[in-house]
Amino acid sequence: MYAILDIETTGGKYDEEGITEIAIYKYNGQKVVDQFSSLINPQKEIQPFVEKLTGINSKMLRSAPKFYEVAKRIVELTEDCILVAHNASFDYRILQTEFRRLGFPFERKSICTVELSQKLLPDEPAYSLGKLVRSLGIPFSDQHRAHGDAKVTLKLFELLLEKDVQKTILKEHINTKNPNKVPSKYLNLIDKLPSEMGVYYLHNSENEIIYIGKSNNIKKRVLSHLTGTQRKSIAIQAELSHITFSLTGGELVTLLKEQNEIKNIAPKFNRAMRFRIFPMGIRIDNTETYPKLILEQVKLEEQYISVFKNQKAAKTVLFRWADDFGICTHKTSLSKSDTACFNHGIQKCDGACIGAETPESYQEKIQLLLEDLSYPHEHFLIIERGKKEGESSFVYIENSIFRGYGYHELNHQIKSQNQIEARLIPMENNPDAQKLIRSFLRRKKYKKLIPLSFITTN
C-alpha cells in the first residue's frame, strides 16, 4: 500500500518551515482507496516568494486546522504504507519535523519519484515535476498546490509501476508487507509469472498444491497473495515454496478448469470451492399431479435445472420465474398452502394452486422454463481466444452435456467428431460447470458458437 504525498510549506530556514497544505492519496497499486487534503494553519508567516508561487496567503489559513488537529488522520492514513513523493526526502523530513514538535516519532518507508524517474526514464530532459509530466503527456492542473501536485505524482507513479520491469518498486513493497520473508525469493517467483489469463497453483516445500486460483493477470493476482495481510494470505505466505501455472486463453475455459481442478485436488486453502461453487439448487419433483419446484441444498443423487450461490439468490430467481412463466409459487417448496397464491389474485397464475388450471397446461409452462434454461443447441462448440496468436479454445457440448475443452489452430478447422475428441481435455459435467456455461452464454462473452449438426465422423 502506498501513500502518495505532497506538502506545501511556509519556506524559511531549514527545519523551521511550517506546513501550509497537505494532500495524501492512499493507493493500493490499482486504485485510490482513501484520500485527505487540507490547508494547514502553520502559526507562522509565509515567505513572500512562496506565497507568490503557491497562491496561498496567511488570510486563507486563519481558519484552517492546525497540524496537531489533523495529525491523527495523517498517521492513520499512512500507517502500513510506503510514502511516495516527488523529492520524497523533503516531504518526509517536513512531516517528521512536525511530528517531532508534537513529541511523536513518525517513521515510514519512502519512495522518491525523482530517483525512480531518473532510473526508469533516463532519456527525459528534466525531472522537476512540472517539466517531467508535461514531457510524458500527463495533464497537470493546480501546480504548486498540494492536491494538484499529489494527484499528478500519483499518475506519474502509476506509469513508473508499469515501467518497473526490474521490480525496484515491487521489492520495496514486499519488504514492507512481508518483513519476515526473503525478498529475493518472492521476486524470483513473481519474475517467472506471466501477466496473462490462466490458472495458477501455489505449492508448499513438499510440492503439495495448497491453493488454486484463476486470473486474467496471473502475476498481479499472485502478488496480492504475497502482499496481503488477511489471515488466509498470511497462512499461504508461511507455506509457499513455489508457483506453477497454466495459461488458458479464454474466460470460460479458465472458470471451468479452476473449479474442476479444485474439486479433484482439494487444496487446503480452497475450502469454499472444494465441493460446490453453487451449493443451492432447484429441481423438479414430478411425483405429484402438478410438477413441483424444489429449492434445496444440492445433493449428488439429484438433477437440478439450475444452481445458485445461496438461498437468497435462488429465491429471487424462483419468484422471477413465477412472473415470467406463470409458475405457481404454491407449487414450489417455498409454500405448503393449498389456497390461491398471491399471483393468482393479480392474474399472473392461472390457478394451479387451486386446481383451476389443468396439469397438462401447467406442465407446458414448466417445459417453456426448461427450454429457456437449455443450451442453444444440442451439440455445439463455444469458441474463445486461445493461449497464443493463431489459436482458439473451444468448450464442447454433446447431447446437451458438457464434455470438456480443447484448443485448435485457426488454419486447421475442426471438421469431424474425431478431431474434436482428439483435442479434448475431458471434464465432469457437474452442476457448477453447467451454471458457469449458462451464465457465460447469457453474457455472450464468446467469439462464436458452432452448431455441430454438420459434423461427420471420419
Residue with cell 447469457: 442
Q: Which has the closest alpha carbon to 352: 280, 419, 392, 293?
A: 293
Q: What is the mean pLDDT of the chain?
A: 86
347 torsion bin: left (phi>0), alpha (psi -120 to 50), beta (else): left
Query: Is there a single domain that holds both residue 439 and residue 327?
Result: no
Residues 395 and 413 in one domain: yes
pLDDT for res 67: 93
For 144: left if phi > 0, alpha if psi spans -120 to 50, otherwise beta; the answer is left
Contacts of 343 (CB under 8 A, 6+ apart): 322, 323, 326, 328, 329, 349
Answer with the one of 326, 354, 373 that is the final residue of a domain: 373
pLDDT on residue 123: 87
DSSP class of residue 348 equals S
The domain tally of the chain equals 4
Task: Assess if residue 287 is contained within a domain.
Answer: yes
Q: How far is CA 128 from the centre of its chain?
A: 35
Q: How much is the pTM?
A: 0.55
The verdict on 368 and 403 lying in the same domain is no
At 186 the pLDDT is: 65
Query: Hey, is 126 helix, strand or coil?
Result: coil
Print the domain residue range for 316: 280-373
Query: Which parts of the chain register pLDDT below 70?
Result: 13-15, 165-188, 191, 274, 411-413, 454-458
* pLDDT of res. 217: 87
Report H helices in 164-245.
168-177, 183-191, 218-227, 231-239
At residue 408, what is the residue type? H
Query: Contact at 8 Å (CB) between 332 and 292?
Result: yes
Burial code (b: 16+ CB inside 10 Å, e: under 16) for 436-452 equals bbeebbeeeebeebbeb
What integer pLDDT is reported at residue 389 of this predicted model?
86
Question: What is the rounded end-to-end Cα distance, in angstroms, of the chain?
Answer: 58
Q: Do 327 and 418 fall within a single domain?
A: no
Supply the pLDDT for residue 411.
63
Q: Which amino acid is at 344?
A: H
**Beta-strand (E) ranges in 10-108?**
19-27, 32-39, 82-85
Q: Based on the domain organization, do 55 and 104 belong to the same domain?
A: yes
